Amino acid sequence: MLFVYIPVFYSFYLSLLRWNLMSPRSAFVGAANYERLMVTPEFWNALANSVFYLVGTVPTSMVVGLALALLVHRTGVLRAFWRSVYFLPAASTFIAMAIVWQWIFHPSIGLLNHGLAVLGLSPIPWLDDPRYSLWSLIIIGNWQAVGYNMVLFLAGLGNIPTEMLDAAATDGAGAFQRVRYVTIPMLSPTTLFVLIVSSIRSFQMFDLAKVLTEGGPVRSTEVLVYVIWQQAFQFFDMGFASALACVLFMMLLAFTVLQMRLFASRVHYQ
């Protein structure tokens, strides 16, 4: 109640006010903040960037995470070691991770541009050019999410009865056929869970945009949570920031319900 429900309802209440954090007085304005939000270019730009980030990270991290989980699941003795190695990016602090990637993306001494130079290609201003800045954050997001998704898929693989795989092998199914017709259908509850969690995590991305790019260049990496933070703690417009937060909450809720409705018929529980 104290840390979840009360803040949620208080945020909705704040979204109905015009209140500058530096002023003790507030004024009730009803839906004015939501009307302002609909005509604010920063909101639509941030929404487009957030959706682009989701499309760039969620499918890739899920496919690669599943592939790694299938490989690690077959390693036996070294399973715990490889699981820890791939999960390290998800367990690392955002600040440390951002500093390392800031060096990797450095335009002159960065590791990526050094590799491009070895191949005879021109260096790329990864974080300084609007054409590449959001792609740079997508690369980091995938690097971080793959290990997290892999661990979730490993948990799902551990719940698949070995008798089903043995029966498929006895019937003559090869390794690829067992994965396609047994493993992947039995992983459908885990896959739906990973899809929902990954989508929510992608919309919550803030640290990378704040530390690496400050939303730039030219607003190319401004995502919804960054705009909420900016409105609340740079411009002190708590009413408008709360309206943005409420809209993001409703969007995530609707997106989650839509995903569950679309894929519920394809989920097979044991």
Cβ 158 vs Cβ 238: under 8 Å: no
Strand, coil or helix: what is 237? strand
pLDDT category, 33, cuts 50, 70, 90?
Answer: very high
Average pLDDT over residues 200-212: 92
Q: Note the pTM of the prediction, 2 decimals.
A: 0.92
CB atoms near residue 82 (< 10 Å)? 17
pLDDT score recorded for residue 269: 62
CA distances from 112 to 61, 107, 117, 244 (A): 20, 9, 9, 36
Pairing of strands 17-18, 27-28: antiparallel
Domain harbouring 125, CATH code: 1.10.3720.10
Number of domains in the chain: 2
DSSP code for 77: G
Q: Are residues 55 and 11 in the same domain?
A: no
Q: Are residues 1 and 55 in the same domain?
A: no
Q: Are residues 138 and 28 in the same domain?
A: no
Candidate from 26-35, 50-59, 158-167 with smallest mean pLDDT: 158-167
Q: Are residues 174 and 194 in the same domain?
A: yes
Q: Are residues 204 and 74 in the same domain?
A: yes
Q: Please indicate, yes or no, if residue 259 is contained in any of the structural domains.
A: no
Q: DSSP letters of 147-209?
A: HHHHHHHHHHHHTS-HHHHHHHHHTT--HHHHIIIIIHHHTHHHHHHHHHHHHHHHHT--HHI
Q: Are residues 142 and 17 in the same domain?
A: no
Q: Please indicate, yes or no, if residue 3 is contained in any of the structural domains.
A: yes
Give the separation between CA 198 and CA 151, rounded to whole angstroms. 13
Q: Are residues 34 and 159 in the same domain?
A: no
CB atoms near residue 68 (< 10 Å)? 20
DSSP code for 122: P
The mean pLDDT of the chain is 91
Candidate from 103-117, 132-146, 155-169, 225-239 with smallest mean pLDDT: 155-169
Give the separation between CA 259 and CA 53, rounded to whole angstroms. 18
Q: Are residues 144 and 197 in the same domain?
A: yes
Looking at 14-156, which runs of residues are DSSP E strands? 17-18, 27-28
Q: Which two tokens stand for residue 37?
A: 């939000």
Q: Please indicate, yes or no, if residue 258 is contained in any of the structural domains.
A: no
Q: Are residues 230 and 155 in the same domain?
A: yes
Q: Are residues 28 and 124 in the same domain?
A: no
Candidate from 158-162, 200-204, 237-241, 255-259 with smallest mean pLDDT: 158-162
Cβ 134 vs Cβ 53: under 8 Å: yes
Q: Are residues 84 and 204 in the same domain?
A: yes
Q: Are residues 168 and 108 in the same domain?
A: yes
Residue 19's nearest CA partner among 242, 227, 228 is 242
Torsion of CA 27, 32, 37, 41, to 10 degrees: -100
Give the separation between CA 70 and CA 83, rounded to whole angstroms. 11
Q: Please indicate, yes or no, if residue 229 is contained in any of the structural domains.
A: yes
